[in-house]
Amino acid sequence: MRKPYIYGNWKMNLSAAESADLISSLLAIKIDFNKVDVGVAPDFCSLKKVAETVHAMDYPVSVAAQNISVEEKGAFTGEVSAAMVASAGADTVILGHSERRTIYGETDKVINEKVKTALRNKLDVILCVGETLEEREGGVAVERVIYQVGLCLQDIKMDRIDRVTLAYEPVWAIVTGKTATPADAEEIHGKIRDHLSKMYGPVVAKKVRILYGGSVKPDNISALMMRENIDGALVGGASLDVASFVKLINFNG
């Protein structure tokens, strides 16, 4: 049985003070961590404060960076390394998000290098994959997603894959208010798991969690989570409000 995982991606939305308020409000609410794993991804500037707040309360809440540099160190103005986010208290990094792919031109090859950099630096990875509207309408959604999984996980060995969580995020469903139907999402999640099984064997594939992301809200999460291969959610907008984020975390009552 895979434990549900609900992850908030705060993107570039909150000031440092707002991030601090949001994490404090969240931790003040009773969450049954036996039933669900929870994580938050603040911006770089808020990361240390959020991680310190989580660690001070000793809650098992994961804290992720939203990106890292592919490089380890050096003259790369404006970049932030894996070691830097780890030293600020992050235990995880979100990689391959469609906003990084489409707005900043990150390719599967670059994302694969970042996955390796992250794992080398002891960060867990949430690896996002997903097709565009054009690809979906062209009937190549499954093919595209499987291709991304294969390339982004190239050379990631069996002993490291347990530190990777997948997130299927159809690009056309992010921030748009459109959600894939639970059946559409389940189809892709199942195909991702089949592919992981080919790469790592069925035992490992069964353990990897595959989150769904794209306009997940309190009113649609339960139907998604009922599906066999949907193990959690990567949530943007609805994670910015403590009341709706808590509803998502407590999706099963």
Provide the binding-site residues for ligand PGA, judged by CB under 6 A. Answer: 9, 169, 174-175, 213-216, 234-238
Annotated catalytic residue within 113, 169, 186, 189: 169
Shortest approach of ligand PGA to residue 3 CB, angstroms? 20
Shortest approach of ligand PGA to residue 158 CB, angstroms? 28
113 is catalytic: no
55 is catalytic: no
Annotated catalytic residue within 97, 113, 131, 186: 97
Identity of the residue, 126 or 161, whose beta carbon is nearer to ligand PGA in the bound complex = 126
- What residue is closest to ligand PGA based on CB? 236
Identity of the residue, 162 or 241, whose beta carbon is nearer to ligand PGA in the bound complex = 241
Shortest approach of ligand PGA to residue 7 CB, angstroms? 8
Range 230-234 contact pairs with CB under 8 angstroms and sequence separation of 24 or more: 230/182, 230/185, 230/186, 230/189, 231/2, 231/3, 231/4, 231/5, 232/4, 232/5, 232/6, 232/7, 232/37, 232/165, 233/5, 233/6, 233/7, 234/7, 234/9, 234/94, 234/126, 234/128, 234/167, 234/169
Instruction: Tell me which residue of 53, 136, 128 sits closest to 92, measured CA to CA.
Output: 128
Identity of the residue, 118 or 234, whose beta carbon is nearer to ligand PGA in the bound complex = 234
Identity of the residue, 39 or 237, whose beta carbon is nearer to ligand PGA in the bound complex = 237
Instruction: Outline where 4-140 has alpha helix (H).
Output: 16-27, 44-57, 82-87, 98-104, 108-120, 133-137
Could you list the active site residues? 97, 169
